[in-house]
Amino acid sequence: MQIDPDTNHNKRDLTEETGKSTGTGKAAAGLLGVPARKIRTVTSRISAAAVKISDKTKAAAAVLVLLASVAVLAYETGALRMINGSGEDVRPYTQQISVCRDAAAGSALGVIETGTEQTCRDSEERLESEMDKVTAALREEYMEILDSGQGSSFHPASQAERLLFERVREKRKEVLSKDPLLLLVNKWHYLPEDYTADPVTLPNGQMIGSECYEPLMEMLEDCAEAGGNPIVCSGYRPHNKQVDLFDAQIDRWLYAGYEQEDSEDLAATAVAIPGTSEHELGLAADIYSSENMSLDESQVNTFTQQWLMENCWKYGFILRYPKDKSDITGIIFEPWHYRYVGKKHARKIQEAGICLEEYLEETDHPEETAEDSEEAESLDGEQEYDQAEPFYGY
């Protein structure tokens, strides 16, 4: 392409040629979501100045790198607006952005002075490296927001930030979905048909998944050493056992004169519908204090439960059904039901004060009243547990 400073046609050719480049300028503009009209306006202005340079390579390279600089500046505006809104220290970010901007400006000058292809490649690599640092810092910030359960209430300030935030969210969800310790089972998410547990027997005859046997034993021993009296009254429950229990409850109501559909609904108030109980996972344990064998809210008054609720996360467990989360979990407050999720996730859930559904961003459920949730658990407080005859509810 020959550059003729007197023709607009060549300005357009230069812009198109630059746009086809695989250089950082175009990549950055696309990644950061810089509005197309800004790209066109800035490119037009830079092209008008660039055509005055006699060497085509210098001109095209200058347009490429300067365009990248514009993308960085646009990124800076949006990023700082978001970061400032969070009330955090913005200095680490501004330092990275300044380095990034300086790299772009220095690269442009170097390309214009030398016009060599190697200089252009070096400039692109340097700019790309600095931009990666800024993007990595934002990704880490977004991950912390999502881990704290605040993803649904967080609103990025610009389209570029929204796109990056959604990519981080999708990647996080993909990773969490592959972690077997985070498998979600509730009335809206049934146990996968091909799921198989690996139960082992506890000293008192109850069973628990092998993944959490050692952490559970360590937690129980430490609780006892601290002065508690923890007893696992219900652990792993095979699916066929859950089916038998549920069917037995249905038979009770049928015998009492109720119709099939009503009997099933009433049975679900005492025994979890097969496939919706965490006990089938092998990762859940109902633990009471030997001083109080009633599984109701009175458990929260025992030293055992107070210690467990405060320390369970250190062993990889969470209190699965916290207070004031019934509208999300579908289950009333159960200060005895603990779920193993692993130490890393348990710490994050504990620190954020959220439930598993919030951590996994699975909070959208079919409409259901709080009264319905309470009815489904209404018999919990009417049963007393002991090791010989554990409760087979949720």
Helix (H) or strand (E) holding 47: helix 36-50
Cα gap 287→249, rounded to integer Å = 24
Helix (H, G, I), strand (E, B) or coil at 201: strand
User: Residue 370 contacts by C-beta under 8 Å, 6 or more apart in sequence?
Assistant: 326, 327
> Cα angle at 281 between 215 and 237, to 5 degrees?
100
CB 131 within 8 A of CB 107: no
- Residue 54 burial by CB count (10 A; 0-12/13-18/19+): exposed, middle or buried? exposed
The whole-angstrom separation of Cα 248 and Cα 99 is 70
Among 124, 211, 334, 358, which one carries the catalytic annotation? Answer: 334
Q: Which two tokens stand for residue 65?
A: 């790198």
Tokens describing residue 310:
């405060």
SS3 content of the chain, % helix, strand, coil (to 5): 60, 5, 30
Residue 341 CA from chain centroid, whole number:
14
Task: Tell me whether residue 280 is one of the annotated catalytic residues.
Answer: no
* CA-based nearest residue to 394, from 346, 354, 311, 338: 338
Query: Residue 347 carries which side chain, given as an amino acid letter?
Result: R
Contact 114, 52 (CB under 8 A): no
Q: Looking at the DSSP assignment, which residues form a beta bridge with residue 339?
A: 284, 318
Whole-angstrom distance, CA of residue 178 vs CA of residue 169: 15
* C-alpha to C-alpha distance for 217 and 223, rounded to whole angstroms: 10
Residue pair 14/51 in contact (Cβ under 8 Å)? The answer is yes
| CA distance to 31, 32, 150, per residue, from 164 (Å) | 8, 8, 16
User: Is 44 in contact with 11 (CB distance < 8 Å)?
Assistant: yes
Give the catalytic positions in this structure: 334
